[in-house]
Structure 1
Amino acid sequence: MIIDSRKGSGNEMVDSLPVVNAPDLKVRKTLGRTYLDENRVEEAAQLFSAILQDYPDDVDSLVAMGNLYLAAGEGEQARRFYERALWLDPHNEELRRQIEKAWSESWNLHNQPLPNDPASVGHLLQRLTGWQKEISEEELNRAAGILYRILHAENPAAEIAERLDEMDEILPALLEINIRQAQADGNAEIEEALRALQSAIQTQMAGRNDPVNQPAGDEQALPFGQWKVLLLESEVFGRSNRLALLEAALQQAGAVVERDLSACWQEGGLPDLMIAPNPHLRPENLEGIVRLTGMGVPLLVDLETDFEQLPVNHPAYADFGLGTPARGKAYASALLLADCITVPSALQAESLRSAGRPAVYVPDGWMRTNFLWLQEGEPRQTVHLGWVANPSQSEDLASIRRAVVRVMREFPQTRLVVIGDYQAYHLFDILPENRRMYLPMTGVEEFPYLLEQVDILMIPLRNHPYNDSISDQILVEAGIKAIPWVGSPVVPFSRWMAGGRLAGSIDEWHLHLRELVMDSDHRQGMGMMGRKMALSRESSELSVLWLRILEQTIRSASPVKPAEHGRQTA
């Protein structure tokens, strides 16, 4: 077929194709690329958005939407599309480069769905095309009527005061009236200035009404004040980093924290909220938990990790696992009684919710109050390849031993640092003593110092369901110290991505380690990307999320506890 370029735009064939209802995915994507080639961004965005409604895992469409958001200057939104695509296609190097571009636009990641809903796509088109909502004649007539009444009122100021809410709504229409008057008067400068003001106001109003920018649920804070919170710590874990973050949120709220379960039976001792971290580690508390929940005290259970997926051969299983009848009973009972279950893994939360549990994802983070996190390490001439024992095992490190030894033989300036597992240290006895170093594990407060001894962090993990549901805590900590990392393609690492590389084979481990050792600028750049990401996990940021969840859990209880239980109201 020959298309006469003298007739029409040359798009007649494209325009005749079905857009949303095309049954063939390939045809729809081809049409979308044609729209992009012709700079028809509105049609392209709507088409790729529609494709993702039908095929949410289509990598090409995810990338296309990411590119559109990036072109609109929405780096954060673009990155979320790219990361979803990279999760589906983990070996796509072009996607990694696009993620780095998106980082240059924005680094703050929120745990929200991909912005593929109609309102978000409309906002995207507004950014791409400059399109604003057209003002109808009805709105113009309404604005003109209000303006007339104000001008002819005995007290114009009082008339305006009575119509403040309406004035906010009709402001773009009032500006449109003045724009048209400026056109009629031939005053181009005033017209241009008014149109710029109108565009800015409409964009602001659209952003204010955008569901993406709206808080989830009721944002009105409940007055914690002197509310009592019973915190049942599990001594096996000790004062973990996660527990410290939770306590920081409680302190910020001004809550009174009790740790003695027996005090609850005293006069006026009934708490407003009970928090049980890892309840199976203190099975002796189960009776008290059951009794308090029976009295109407809401229960929040926080799980440090996915205990249900923890392998029986994991070094931590003996101390933390569900291997005894008492622990299994305490775990199952607490989850059954819980009004809310908080977990450090999005995948774990999804799994619990699918089983009907009220699970919420609360990520792990770090605390600025520990000055060691922000302390810069001393410069050194060597490049330290580091491995941390938790949550890894020595078998995980053994799986990449060949790649590590190969890199260290290629680059004499490298040194191996093994933290927390002396058995793993001996996996590398083939290396001279002056090329490797062992550091015993420390407590939470001193851990930043250990990470200062590492220049490239290695996090190999075997393919196991437990590793897909672990926390991304180690990546947060590496990020704050600006340490680039190489890790296995497990779900939490694939979702984080900032500041690191995924390696699914020995060759990839060798390639990525080699690149980072050779190029100090590359190491620094990767580390800074990780730091930007990790800044959003500081305790003051996470406290907002914790407090919202605590408030909602307290609301879930009956407003007034029975008086015979002796609870004092705030």
Structure 2
Amino acid sequence: MDTKSADLAQRKAVGKQHLEANRIEQAIQVFAQILREYPADIESYLILGDCYLADGDPDTALAFYTQAQQLDPQDSRVLRRINLAQVEVNLGEGGKTMPLAAEMTASASLAMRSKQVADLLERLANRPSAISEADVQRAAKLLEEILHSPHPALKVAERLDEIDELIPALLELNIRQARQDGREDLAIGLENLLQNIYLQKEVHGDAVESLTATTSELAEEPLRILWIDPLPDLPLIAPKVPIAKLSELDCQFVRLSPNQVPDLKGFDVVLAVHPHGDPGSMEWLAAAHGAKLPILLYLEADFEQIPLQHPAFELVGLNNPARAKAYSAACWLADRIVVPSEAFANTLRQANFQVTVIPPAWDTDDLSNSKPVRPRHTLNIGWIGLGGELEDVFQVKRMIVRVLREFPHVRLVIAGDVEVYQLFDSLPESRRIFLPIIEAEDYWYALKQMDVLLLPLRNTPFNNSLSEKRLMDAGGRGIPWLASPSPAAVNWASGGLIAHSLDEWHTYLRQLVLDNDLRVSLGNAGGRQVQLRSLNLQSRLWYHLLRETIHGKKR
């Protein structure tokens, strides 16, 4: 079995385990991710259709079965399911019937007619369910006119709005040409670019912004941003605001000294990071609100739920009434709150706050600038964290020790928290290693020491608010991971396995140790997913949000 087949079989097995345990939503997540990477897999379309049919949604089920039929019109499994789904649809319409042939014809265009299905397929494929053939033809005609024009540059300038509108179709044309020329590498690169465009839509939650929008925005006056970050070294493995990249986009950040009184007339917007940890920062925030300056508040995690034992608790935990009041005030003073995870955003939205999700970004400089790693002859499984997750690791300790005892060539790497390292005192020192994390490069050096990353997280509100940064960083290094079913792991999905029980922790960890092909295929899948999280894209999302917030306040 080749690497791709092994990867596909393993992931289907995980999805089917979810189905057997009646975890329908998790199964949908697994098979949706499979279809992102294996869009011609008929069985995944059928299983997704079965999930929605069982959930009482025959229209959506029929859309998936129709997609499968387009791949193999003669497959009897598909035809039986289409018939069954069509009966369910008819019953839902009050028993109205029509000839089967006509029904089959109608179902073929169902995905294009139903917004519900189109939205679903867009979410699964990370792009709209289809770029219309009409747009592709328009794009081809436009290219032809530009190429044969005596003044191509002038023609481009004249048709700029149309080019902007047809960017997805133009990319689709190039993807087709690359495949026709046998350039699969180029086709994959172009598909990643197309998915990057739709990532902007996913993050903003509305229509895809024009790729030239940022260019037009840059023609405006530079942004002067009052930067409030009283705790820049907060002990959290979490994404940061891309200050350096935003500075390249004409953003001027001004950071004040602790006792300085700001002249707020000189600023366009305030960007505050965890101001509730510092009384002076809260005074600046209140003054900015009084001066009607737009305020963006960035929160890396749900500090209302941070555990007592977390190293950041004394700095940002709401362990006294004054800080709790400051945290609440910061949220209410902000025109918009920015967070790195959808689960945390949903918590804040329930309290009626305006929230935008800007997910973590992958910065290749982080890894290339870290210390070199010596060659090794062991297979290293590892955990990395700055504290507060002792109980999370303890719940899977027995499974980890069991695998280490079974495989003498496996070594355990613990980075960041010495208490987690001490959990494994029963192991000889030759089988475990501790790596402290003092500076940023220590984090990347520790990650380089791992062949499999472990991320056990209990189902707690704080853990559920965390972003997928560690999983993303592992993907950037090509490291497969094994994780608990936290929202971050379920949403990221690519590059690893999710264990829902202690038995699965042991089974999957053992499998990752034994199967090099599985490790490689998962690592490659994580690497592909990381390409959708470029630092350039993240900085443009931030820039757009800053401009949008300023304009919204002026209106």
TM over 0.5: yes
Cα shift at 1:259? 0.8
1:248 to 244, 247, 254: 244
Which amino acid in structure 2 is aligned with residue 232 of structure 1?
Answer: I
437 and 371 in structure 1: CA distance in 2 versus 1, 3 angstrom threshold? closer
2:56 aligned to which of 21, 25, 42? 25
In structure 2, relative to structure 1, the CA distance for the partners of 1:32 and 1:255 (3 Å cut) is closer
State the partner residue of 1:442: 438
Hey, what's the Cα distance between the residues in 1 that align with 2:514 and 2:312? 36
Give the structure 1 partner of residue 208 of structure 2. 215
Measure how far apart 1:464 and its partner are.
Answer: 1.3
Which structure 2 residues correspond to residues 141-540 of structure 1 after superposition, within 5 A?
214-216=207-209, 219=213, 220-221=216-217, 223=219, 225-235=221-231, 237-238=233-234, 244-260=240-256, 265-266=262-263, 270-372=266-368, 377-390=373-386, 393-540=389-536
Aligned residues: 408
Which amino acid in 2 is paired with 1:25? G
Q: Is the 8 A contact 2:480 2:526 kept in 1?
A: yes
Q: 1:80 to 1:415 in 2, by over 3 A?
A: farther
Q: Give, as a single letter, the amino acid of the residue that structure 1 aligns with 2:389.
A: Q
Say if 1:385 and 1:455, in contact at 8 Å, map to a contact too.
yes
* Cα distance in 2, alignment partners of residues 471 and 495 from structure 1: 10
Q: Greater shift after overlay, 252-261 or 399-408?
A: 252-261
Encode CA deviations 1:49-84: one digit per residue, 9 max, x unaligned. Answer: x98xx9xxxxxxxxx99xx99xxxxxx996943xxx
Contact 2:224–2:254 (CA<8 Å) still a contact in 1?
yes
From the superposition, tell whether residues 224 and 520 of structure 1 become closer, same or farther in structure 2 (CA, over 3 Å). Answer: farther
Q: Percent identity?
A: 32
Q: CA contact under 8 A between 1:403 and 1:509: conserved in structure 2?
A: yes
Question: Which residues of structure 2 form unaligned runs of 5+?
Answer: 1-52, 93-106, 113-118, 138-154, 164-194
Deviation, 1:451, is 0.6
Could you tell me which amino acid in structure 2 is paired with residue 536 of structure 1? L
Question: Matched residues in 2 for 1:492 and 1:313: separation?
Answer: 22
Partner of 2:73: 39
Task: Say which SS state the counterpart of residue 444 (structure 2) adopts.
Answer: helix
State the shift of 1:380 in Å: 2.2
Work out the CA distance in 1 between the residues paired with 2:267 and 2:223. 8
Distance, in Å, in 1 between the alignment partners of 2:468 and 2:65 is 40
Against the structure 1 CA distance between its residues 512 and 79, is the aligned structure 2 distance closer, same or farther, given a 3 Å change threshold? farther
1:328 deviates by: 1.2
Q: Please tell me the root mean square deviation across aligned C-alpha atoms, in Å.
A: 4.3
Report the Cα distance in structure 2 between the residues aligned to 1:226 and 1:23, rounded to whole angstroms. 54
Q: What CA distance in whole angstroms lies between the structure 2 residues aligned with 1:312 and 1:231?
A: 29
Which has the greater radius of gyration?
Answer: 1
Q: For the Cα contact (< 8 Å) 1:374–1:481, is it kept in 2?
A: no
Deviation of the 1:378 alpha carbon: 4.4
Q: d(CA) in 1 for partners of 2:228 and 2:336?
A: 15
Deviation at 1:25, TM superposition (A): 3.4
Q: Any idea what the Cα deviations from partners look like across 1:400-446, whole Å, max 9, x if unmatched?
A: 11111111111110001111122221211221110111111232233
Equivalent-residue separation in structure 2 for 1:327 and 1:30 (angstroms): 50
Partners in 2 of 1:404 and 1:362 — Cα distance? 34
8 Å contact kept, 2:383–2:455: yes
Question: Residue type matched to 2:279 in 1?
Answer: P
One-letter amino acid matched to 2:224: K
Distance 1:375 1:316, change over 3 A: closer
* SS at 2:364 equivalent: coil
Deviation readout 1:458-504 (Å, 9 max, x if unpaired): 11111212222211111111111111110000111001011110011
Q: Which amino acid aligns with 2:531?
A: L
| Contact 2:494-2:526 at 8 Å conserved across structures | yes
Distance between the aligned counterparts of 1:317 and 1:370, measured in 2? 27
Please state how far the C-alpha of 1:215 moved relative to its aligned partner: 1.9
User: Could you state the TM-score of these two structures normalised by the residue count of structure 2?
Assistant: 0.64
Residues 71-90 of structure 1 mapped to structure 2, 5 A cutoff? 80-81=123-124
**Stretch moving more, 469-478 or 369-378:** 369-378
